[in-house]
Amino acid sequence: MNKRISDNTLGKIKLIVLRVIVYAILVFLTFLCLFFFYLMIVNASRSNAELATGFSILPKGNFFVNLKNAWNDDSINIPRGMLNSLIIAVSSAIITTYFSALTAYGIHAYNFRGKKFVFTFIMAIMMIPSQVSALGFLQMMNKMHLTNSYIPLIVPGIAAPVVFFYMKQYMESVLPLDVIDAARVDGSNEFRTFNTIVLPMIKPALAVQMIFSFVSSWNNYFVPALLLDKAEMKTVPIMIAQLRSADYSKFDMGKVYMFILLAILPVMIVYVILSKSIIKGVTAGSVKG
């Protein structure tokens, strides 16, 4: 009896130690993520002369001065750039997530000839880097007179093999075919079933992919730099590159850090909004389990 009690006590101690180690690692990783974000806020509050002196852990009093300088910069229209990036990122995220989920639903819910081939073909496309087809894509956009347009930056998001694969795997785990068959018996057409039944069931997956798609489109520099020449249509990454390549005598690092901070804020806001859906979905799944 005493041996059994001691074994149980030892097991509890090991479990407590393991939890302490895991939480310590999580706290350390969280600190690393937040620390560099904090440093960016600190640098955004320092003047160019103060930044030249080196590292500082405490914020200074130049935050609103840098904000005013960045927002009212004559060479770069930051508000317009953020609006351009927001239009492209939101539209691309919605289109990518919706049509990838719709494609995954078609593969998951239907049995048809060539189903395995279609799935394999989509997975093969996922292996091709976007840079490989960039030249051909640029030539096609030139022939279609779609340069200096947001259409080539938004519409191709319909074909997103990585998002499709994630949605397909998620549907296999949470979307039983009996639910779809029951909706069909009740007279629901396929689009109504998808929009009113399937989408609410996969809301956590939609939220995750909306975040990833938004961030990917927001940070995209390569394709917009090839297609957008007009100053009023340029996006945030292009403007940051232009700001960093400015004349060194006029170079203001405080303004650059402020611009980077402004560029990150929309991503943080989108994550905070959509993360609630992820948490609710995980909670609901654990309750059902």
CB 128 within 8 A of CB 162: no
**End-to-end Cα separation, the chain, in angstroms:** 35
**Tokens encoding 107:** 């593969």
Looking at the domain assignment, is residue 240 inside a domain? yes
* pLDDT of amino acid 283: 47
Lookup result for tokens 């940051």: 240
* pLDDT of amino acid 100: 92
CB 209 within 8 A of CB 97: yes
DSSP type of residue 175: -
% helix, strand, coil for the chain, step of 5: 80, 0, 20
Between CA 64 and CA 44 the distance in angstroms is 9
What whole-number percentage of the chain has pLDDT above 70? 90
- Which amino acid appears at position 179 of this protein? V
* Number of structural domains found in the chain: 1
Looking at the domain assignment, is residue 163 inside a domain? yes
**Tokens encoding 26:** 């999580």
Looking at the domain assignment, is residue 25 inside a domain? no
Give me the chain's average pLDDT, please. Answer: 83
Looking at the domain assignment, is residue 171 inside a domain? yes
Give the mean model confidence (pLDDT) for residues 6-12: 70
Residue-wise pLDDT for 116-173, tens only, equals 888 888 888 888 777 777 888 888 888 888 888 899 999 988 888 889 998 998 888 8
Q: Which domain holds residue 100?
A: 65-288
Which of 50, 45, 49 has the alpha carbon at shortest distance from 62? 45
CB 195 within 8 A of CB 43: no
The three-class DSSP label of residue 167 is helix
Residues 6+ apart with CB under 8 A from 125: 159, 161
Looking at the domain assignment, is residue 223 inside a domain? yes
* pLDDT of amino acid 10: 73
Looking at the domain assignment, is residue 23 inside a domain? no
Handedness of CA 30, 33, 37, 40 (dihedral sign): positive
Beta strands in the chain, from DSSP E residues, in sequence order: none
Residues 6+ apart with CB under 8 A from 69: 252, 254, 255, 258
CATH number of domain containing 166: 1.10.3720.10
Looking at the domain assignment, is residue 184 inside a domain? yes
* pLDDT of amino acid 249: 54
CB 283 within 8 A of CB 276: no
Looking at the domain assignment, is residue 166 inside a domain? yes
Residue-wise pLDDT for 216-253, tens only, equals 899 888 889 888 888 888 898 888 887 766 555 566 78
